[in-house]
Amino acid sequence: MSSPIWTPEELSSEARPLEGRCWRLVEAQHRVSTLKLVDSLDEQALLEQLIETTKPHIPVECGHLHYLLATPFRYGSNYPTGSRFRRAGRSLGVYYAAQRVQTAVAEMAFYRLLFFSESPHTPWPSDAAEYTAFAASFKAARAIDLTMPPLSRDAESWTHPTDYAACQQLTDDARGGGIEAIRYRSVRDPAGGANLALLTCTVFAKPAPVDRQTWRIRLGPSGVQAICEFPELRIGFDRGSFAGDPRLRDMRWPRQ
pLDDT digits (tens, 9 = 90+) for 85-109: 999 998 999 999 999 999 999 999 9
Per residue in 127-144, pLDDT tens?
A: 999 999 999 999 999 999
b/e 128-141 (16+ beta carbons within 10 angstroms → b): beebbbbbbbbbbe
Residue 38 is predicted with a pLDDT of: 72
Assigned domain for 152 exists = yes
Residue 179 burial by CB count (10 A; 0-12/13-18/19+): exposed, middle or buried? buried
Say what the pLDDT of residue 180 is: 98
Could you tell me if residue 88 is inside a domain? yes
Of 97, 94, 194, 178, nearest in space to 143 by CA: 178
Interval 174-208: pLDDT, tens: 999 999 999 999 999 999 999 999 999 999 999 99
Q: Which residue has the higher pLDDT, 174 or 31?
A: 174
Count how many Cα atoms sit within 13 Å of the Cα of residue 8 in the half-sphere of its side chain.
8
Domain membership of residue 189 (yes or no) is yes
Domain span including residue 232: 8-248
Q: What CA–CA distances, in Å, run from 141 to 138, 179, 203?
A: 10, 8, 8
Q: How confident is the model at residue 47 (pLDDT cuts 50, 70, 90)?
A: low
The pLDDT-based confidence of 39 (bands split at 50, 70, 90) is confident
Judged by phi (left if over 0) then psi (alpha if -120 to 50, else beta), residue 189 lies in: beta
What average pLDDT does the structure give for the chain?
92
**Quick one: pLDDT at residue 79?**
82
d(CA 11, CA 143) in angstroms, rounded, equals 9
Whether residue 211 is contained in a domain is answered as: yes
Determine the residue type at 48: E
The reply to whether 2 falls in a domain is: no
Per-residue pLDDT at 77 exceeds 70: no
Residue 253 lies in a domain: no
* Distance of alpha carbon 156 from alpha carbon 160, whole angstroms: 6
**Count: domains in the chain:** 1
